[in-house]
Structure 1
């Protein structure tokens, strides 16, 4: 008869295959409850000097990927209103403008299969660093472009590097943050997209009137600047304790937890229990490596996979891609043709977006997930329907008031978009995906998100050029599809423990298997 250690290994293997956290009986549940209680009793981060330092270091060390992506969207919007850029590249419109914007997302998609080779083997920081080097190289090439092909290649290079950093940056944040702060801190990561957008929007506003090529070369070169900051900043951060445990560096991992989560107190009960739980789970997972097949072997994991795929697609196909890259073309459909006015609207919209996204990130601690997603979906649908009506009135009946209303609708749209698809884009998958399949789940999220972005950015200018404001009707119909999927498949994850969340996906079968295995170990 097999000894207890063999039974434990078999139990762990079963749970890993199911995609749930290993559970070795009532003691593990008691440990979860004790850690949660102690975590809530910990002082706020601003009273822990080391933890406050850690969060400040996260700004230059981890926020650059989202800043770079936001900078790109607003920069491409702004450059379309820069006469010297428009003339230098032959006034690109339709498919030509689409491929110029979408090529960055294509670089992301092509790089996705190679991401884990760096970050999983050499550490989260190494993955971020490699991505930063590639992004910086692409930014320099972009600013030095002498023809259309070189501009395209430079943007592909930026996208190729971006996906490395954008995968491991939120992962490193989540694995370093104190459990008490992790939900909000992870949600705040994506809000930095708008910081980059603000910088780009007002940079292009400041340079658009320069009569030389520097009107567009300056913002193009500046896209490389954040990557240089991150190359240094990421190595001011400690490595992920979870990764260090997986690589047999448990003592170093505990030292990081003690320093930042307990302000250097190695006798702190919370950190010792946190480390004990972390080490038990991760070492079991290392011994029973989870393959890609685990994503589809159980009904619960198949449902998780469906949610992640939908989240990646919805985050790009909700209408945000139309405004993020083609605001200038949208404004032209309602009679806004002055370059200065376009850049001012672009800059103000990005500031508004940043404010609302930060508020939305903090709301994740108070509002249920399904409520956030459904409110966001219905709100965007109402806004797009109204925007379509107003654009039609302006174009067909020359209604000036309706044209101005479209501008107001742009702000209203992002109020609802940011509520869920900015705030929950990374924090919701962390709750949905158990640790054994979390990294692979994030790879799926990145692939479908960037692939959807590529298709979306490529198609939008073609649609706008072909049918003008009527193209908005496509998004009205698609948002109805999104709301239906969210209502039917998205699972509520706020409030209950990880055990209860797993049960909502895996059902009673998973729980029965856990109890049976725990009983066999007693």
Structure 2
């Protein structure tokens, strides 16, 4: 009898934790890259090196990274499904490494901007592949918690960036800003090294027809033997989903049309989720925190760096809360709660900063601290796992890339316009972000289905036909909160697997398409 498969000597949840740790280092790098420019842009030596750029050009120096990330996500769209989840992360790490070297050694604006864009391409790869890899590796009941733990490390990256900036501000010479830029390299090497020793996504392997490797990977991640019941059951579920999709999905163009699986609707849901996360204003604080506290609230540079660093520590502590509630409360409730809290905080910030005064300046700081709690509860961990859950297997990487394009496109817009907004319309900037947060509540309520605690393959059923017709997104949302629907899925899953076994024994092809439609009609009657 062969031993249970392992990777790095680990199996089961211990191995999933190691995958989560690897993903966490990738997102720590993400957070660090978002955060270190906030302090660097207030460094007189940095500004002098590049000719003391005005607010608009300074904003572009920060946001050029987001252009690279957007390009990286677009490139992932075309090559991601060929490379696989792990190799996409490794490829991204190489891009980031090259970009970091170019930035740290810059003496001209052109070289620095090229380095920022190249590094961004790599982060676009990584932020596309990492959430999908973790989502496809973790079990349904623990996906949310694994993602929440990973996202806490994004905040740890922000903390490291802020305090490295603060510490280096005390040192004379260009190392004051070159060292924070170069520090990215350490995280790059670590995440690339770990990836090489961990299991590939079993779902990607199955999609590529590599069933032996897929079974080994799945057995190791679930901690069972190759032929154990838990491994066999999930293996068949994946097999079933691939068979269903093979009847419908014909090309990558299905992300722009129905394609038999509501492809466009599901891709747009992921796109909209990223849109509203960025228009919440979170990257105003993540990428430009010291700048905001210095130019909007009125602190000097030392105070701004201190307050920004303290905010990131508070942010990290807040991020622990989703570890315990994300899988219990579900995605929809947390999205709406987070948007309401962030909207109120942004509105109060507008009032406090608009009236002005030292006391209200401190009050604005407190409110912006609380804002981070609502963001991490509602739109941090939940956002990064949601597109991977909502998308079907064949469109998961490409649809995820489109969602990440939204992430980086609107990150660029927000980071680019924030310095001029703060300069020109001051406190009214916060009113704009408050309005988008309140709008998000309405959009989530009517168009975001619940995906928590469901097998990835079960989410496909939410979008299946009802009486031969494609359901509206509102109908999908209603079914997604129905317990009857989940019970019927479990019954049908067993029927599908039995039918597949009968088909194998008799040599007949199992018509999954018709059976799937019939089941959808039956669910209509049950509900």
Same fold (TM over 0.5): yes
- Rounded Cα–Cα distance in structure 1 between residues aligned with 2:445 and 2:214: 41
SS at match of 1:178: coil
Q: TM-score, normalised on structure 2? A: 0.82
Paired position in structure 2 for 1:383: 345
Question: Quick check: 2:294–2:301 contact (8 Å CA) kept in 1?
Answer: no
Q: Distance in 1 between matches of 2:139 and 2:156?
A: 24
Given candidates 256, 261, 275, the residue that maps to 2:222 is 261
Separation in structure 2 between the aligned mates of residue 393 and residue 517 of structure 1, nearest angstrom: 60
Distance 1:508 1:495, change over 3 A: farther
User: 1:350-499 alignment to 2 at 5 Å?
Assistant: 350-394=312-356, 399-494=357-452
Match of 1:103 among 51, 61, 64: 64
Measured against aligned partners, the alpha-carbon deviations of 1:99-133 in whole angstroms (never above 9, x if no partner) come to 10110110122233321444321322211111101
The alignment partner of 2:426 has SS state of helix
Tell me the equivalent position of 1:30.
none
Shift of 1:505: 4.2
Q: 1:121 aligns with which of 82, 90, 94?
A: 82
Q: 1:499 to 1:179 in 2, by over 3 A?
A: closer
Give, in angstroms, the shift of residue 503 of structure 1: 5.7
Distance 1:402 1:334, change over 3 A: farther
In 2 relative to 1, CA 305–500 (structure 1 residues): closer, same or farther, beyond 3 Å?
same
Task: Give the corresponding residue for 1:139.
Answer: 100
Q: Is this contact kept in 2: 1:380–1:417, CA < 8 A?
A: yes
Measured after TM superposition, the shift of residue 175 of structure 1 is 2.1
Do the aligned partners of residues 110 and 462 (structure 1) sit closer, same or farther apart at CA in structure 2, a change above 3 Å counting?
same
CA distance change for structure 1 residues 130 and 49 in 2, over 3 Å: closer, same or farther? closer
Does the CA-based 8 Å contact 1:95-1:458 persist in structure 2?
A: yes
Do the aligned residues in 1 keep the contact of 2:464 with 2:517 (CA within 8 Å)? no
Asked if the contact 2:141/2:327 (under 8 Å) is kept, the reply is no
Residues 490 and 243 (structure 1), Cα distance of their counterparts in 2 relative to 1, 3 Å cut: closer
Name the CA distance, whole Å, in 2 between partners of 1:503 and 1:173: 22
User: Gaps (5+ residues) in structure 2?
Assistant: 1-8, 471-512, 520-527
Structure 1 partner of 2:197:
236
Contact 2:281 2:414 (8 Å CA) reproduced: no
User: Which digits, 9 at most, give the CA deviation of each residue in 1:32-63, with x for residues without a partner?
Assistant: xxxxxxxxxxxxxxxx9523442343256323
Following superposition, the deviation at residue 388 of structure 1 comes to: 0.6
Tell which deviates more after alignment, 53-62 or 375-384. 53-62
Q: 1:432 to 1:456 in 2, by over 3 A?
A: same
Q: Could you tell me how far 1:360 is from its partner in structure 2?
A: 1.7
Q: Tell me how far apart the structure 1 counterparts of residues 443 and 433 of structure 2 sit (CA, whole Å).
A: 15
**Match status 1:304 vs 2:266:** yes
CA distance in 1, matches of 2:15, 2:456: 26
Matched with 2:489 is: none
Contact 1:83 1:208 in 2 (8 A): no
The Cα shift of 1:391 comes to: 0.4
Counterpart position of 2:492: none
The answer to whether residue 309 in structure 2 is matched with residue 347 in structure 1 is yes
Farther-moved stretch of structure 1 (346-355 vs 217-226):
346-355
Matched residues in 1 for 2:329 and 2:143: separation?
Answer: 16
TM value normalised by structure 1: 0.82
Instruction: Give, in whole Å, the separation in 1 of the partners of 2:397 and 2:390.
Output: 12
- The Cα offsets for residues 144-164 of structure 1, whole Å up to 9 and x where unpaired, read as 111222111111011011111
User: What RMSD over aligned residues (CA atoms) do the two structures have, in Å?
Assistant: 2.6
Note if contact 2:38-2:288 (Cα within 8 Å) is conserved in structure 1: yes
Shift of 1:384: 0.8
After superposing on structure 2, the runs of 4+ consecutive aligned residues of structure 1 that deviate more than 6 Å are 496-500
Query: 3-state SS of the aligned residue for 2:15?
Result: helix
1:307·1:490 contact (CA, 8 Å) conserved in 2? yes
Q: What corresponds to 1:149 in structure 2?
A: 110
The alignment partner of 1:423 has SS state of helix
Structure 1 distance, partners of 2:169, 2:330, is: 44
How many Å separate the matches in 2 of 1:93 and 1:507?
A: 55
| Alpha-carbon contact 2:35-2:162 (below 8 Å) kept | yes
Task: Give the unaligned 5+ runs of structure 1.
Answer: 1-47
1:169-180 matches, cutoff 5 A: 169-180=130-141
Partner of residue 73 from structure 1, selected from 14, 20, 34: 34
| Cα distance in 2 between the residues matched to 1:226 and 1:300 | 38
Report the CA distance between 1:379 and its aligned residue: 0.7
Distance 1:89 1:469 in 2: 29
**1:280/1:470 CA distance change after superposition, 3 Å:** closer
Given that 2:161 and 2:180 are in contact with CA atoms closer than 8 Å, whether structure 1 keeps it comes out as: yes
Q: Secondary structure at the match of 1:236?
A: coil
SS in 2 for 1:332: helix
Aligned twin of 1:205: 166
Contact 1:349 1:411 in 2 (8 A): yes
